[in-house]
Amino acid sequence: MIPSTLIAGPCSAETREQVLKTAEGLSALPLDYYRAGIWKPRTRPGEFEGVGNEAIPWLQEVKSQFGLKICTEVAKAEHVEAVLKAGFDMIWIGARSTANPFTVQEIADALQGVNIPVMVKNPTNPDLKLWIGAIERVEKAGIKEISAIHRGFSVYEKTLYRNNPNWQIPIDLKQELPTIPLICDPSHIGGRDYLLLEIAQRAFDLRYDGLMIETHCSPKDAWTDAKQQITPAELSTLLNSIKVRGRQEIEEQEMIELRSQLTSKDEEIIQILRERMDVSGLIGSYKKQHNIAILQNSQWEESLRKNLERAKNADLSPQFSNDLFRLIHQESIRIQAEILSEKKNE
């Protein structure tokens, strides 16, 4: 199934040959925009930060040779000025830029009086208001065609995804701004090519308005984000694999995903408990070394009181919380007792 809006092309414009060869492969698909990064905001200095203005003629050639509309990411006023002068058909604001209102305002100021579609990626952190604020700044600049791109959110802990989708946030965005088209970027959410179909299917199930998927003529040789890019042929296969599903099928899939989330959270709980008991062991060793009694009633009672208050603020059942922390305390005491008993056996 072909989405109502399809945007594809390489993560980065690397060489003229790579840009044109990828465009040739995509020209057979009903592409709305050919994308390629010209300026690449990188996490650390010294990494490839894009070819820069040198790539602009390559994309102009894509437009003239294959009749494809072209777009790229902008992060400064000078970027906006360069692509407007070159006749680009659309621009987008990246996640790092969306996270900075000063940057968004600079771009918005450069767009004053201009008629060009603008897409706004969600900020790196899961902040709905920040995302909406960026869209509003662009809107106040007089831009009429604005879309939102969901590319996932950064989280500290490791997950299956490169950027955690947090599906509820784009759903909330759609409720707040119902007229704004919502585009899914499975490439940045998944970070791995084998996850793209699953993410794209979920976006369709949630009635997204389109897809942006990174496509490269030779993904294994890509200078940036090689693992999340696919070939034009693979993109065609992916699009043909997306199903229009009924409500019951969607609900069944949602239940499978929810159960998977439960399993993941259970694994996290087990790991946290293991780490907590390791700390209890260290406390036991300290008490053994300094000849301190295991049970410190006043300290335990104060700790329990604070934990129950925190649990209450988190809307957890008081009885459940009380039982849980008492069980954890009992296991902690058991571990410390074993460590102290070793002294008698030495």
Query: What are the distances in angstroms from CA 211 to CA 7, 186, 208?
Result: 6, 8, 8
Delimit the CATH 1.20.59.10 region(s) of the chain: 251-345
What is 267-321 written as a DSSP string? Answer: HHHHHHHHHHHHHHHHHHHHHHHHT--S--HHHHHHHHHHHHHHHHHTT--HHHH
CATH superfamily for 5-244 is Aldolase class I (3.20.20.70)
pLDDT at 156 over 80: no
Delimit the CATH 3.20.20.70 region(s) of the chain: 5-244
Tell me which of 190 and 266 has the higher pLDDT: 190
* pLDDT tens figures, 11-22: 999 999 999 999
pLDDT of residue 277: 92
- At residue 79, what are phi and psi to the nearest 5 degrees? -65, -45
- Torsion sign, CA atoms 72, 76, 80, 85: negative
Give 112's contacts (C-beta < 8 A, 6+ positions apart). 141, 142
Confirm if 333 and 284 have CB atoms less than 8 A apart: no
Q: Could you say which architecture CATH assigns to the domain 251-345?
A: Up-down Bundle (1.20)
Question: Which of the given ranges, 73-77, 201-205, 245-249, has the highest pLDDT on average?
Answer: 73-77
